[in-house]
Amino acid sequence: MKSRAQFFFVILICLTFFTACSETPDSGADVDLPDASSPDDTDQQLPDTSTINDTADENDSAQTACGAPCTGDLQCDSGRCACTPGLTRCGDTCAQTDGVCAVDIANIAFSPRELTIEVGTSVEWTNLDGATHTVTSGTAANSPGELFDSGSLARDAQFQRTFDESGEFPYFCRPHAGSMTAKVIVLEP
Ligand SMILES: [Cu+2]
């Protein structure tokens, strides 16, 4: 009886092993299935890659349309870098400023020293220095003050001018003509 029980036990063990072994090829087949599906994954990744290329192409064409990548808040629209309608362009910043861009006069310098705006935008200078400054169009040597001249600006004094024509408008400070020069670049909207 005891040996028969052992025999059945061995049979049971063998059946268990056989089942386990016969499952192993099955699981091997299961492993093959993911292998077979992994080429599908690769196939799926290829369209993904081409999608990325398409996006890159769109970016490239957008950048080509504007000549160069638009900086800051600006976005390429109809071949030019611009702000979304309703926002004022002050350099590469777009803000709700009601058409006025600020230039600080501080530490005996204009900041920003070069400001790009669109036709119809106003520029407002504020003197943050203790020293007196001026905002004078042109250069000391070329038509000083012909277009605009703030006169002497004490601390906290402001001067505003609206630019209704496109072009480059250099300006300077009369007391510091040697170092305080700057310009406003006005673009067609
Ligand atoms: Cu000055």
Q: What is the pLDDT of residues 92-128, one digit of tens each?
A: 999 999 999 999 999 999 999 999 999 999 999 999 9
Q: What is the pLDDT of residues 136-170, one digit of tens each?
A: 999 999 999 999 999 999 999 999 999 999 999 99
Output DSSP code: residue 185. E
What residue type is 155 in one-letter code? R
The domain that holds 125 is classified in CATH as 2.60.40.420
> Is 154 a domain residue?
yes
- The contacts of residue 143 (CB under 8 Å, 6+ apart) are 137
**Domains contained in the chain, number:** 2
Does residue 50 sit in the same domain as residue 128?
no
Whole-model pTM: value is 0.67
Report how far ligand 1's centroid is from the alpha carbon of 175 (Å): 5
pLDDT at 64: 61
Does residue 54 sit in the same domain as residue 87?
no
Q: Where are the beta strands (DSSP E) in 83-166?
A: 88-90, 93-95, 100-105, 110-111, 114-118, 122-127, 136-137, 158-162
Last residue of a domain, one of 47, 65, 83: 65
Q: Domain containing 103: what range?
A: 75-187
Q: Where are the beta strands (DSSP E) in 10-138?
A: 75-77, 80-82, 88-90, 93-95, 100-105, 110-111, 114-118, 122-127, 136-137
Report how far ligand 1's centroid is from the alpha carbon of 40 (Å): 70
Q: For residue 165, what are its two tokens?
A: 């024509």
Report how far ligand 1's centroid is from the alpha carbon of 2 (Å): 113
> Is 70 a domain residue?
no
Report how far ligand 1's centroid is from the alpha carbon of 7 (Å): 108
Identify whether the C-beta of residue 115 lies closer than 8 Å to the C-beta of residue 184. yes
Report how far ligand 1's centroid is from the alpha carbon of 180 (Å): 6
Does residue 36 sit in the same domain as residue 102?
no
Does residue 96 sit in the same domain as residue 57?
no
d(CA 66, CA 84): 15
d(CA 64, CA 78): 11
Does residue 55 sit in the same domain as residue 83?
no
Report how far ligand 1's centroid is from the alpha carbon of 135 (Å): 8
Does residue 16 sit in the same domain as residue 96?
no
Does residue 100 sit in the same domain as residue 172?
yes
Does residue 125 sit in the same domain as residue 84?
yes
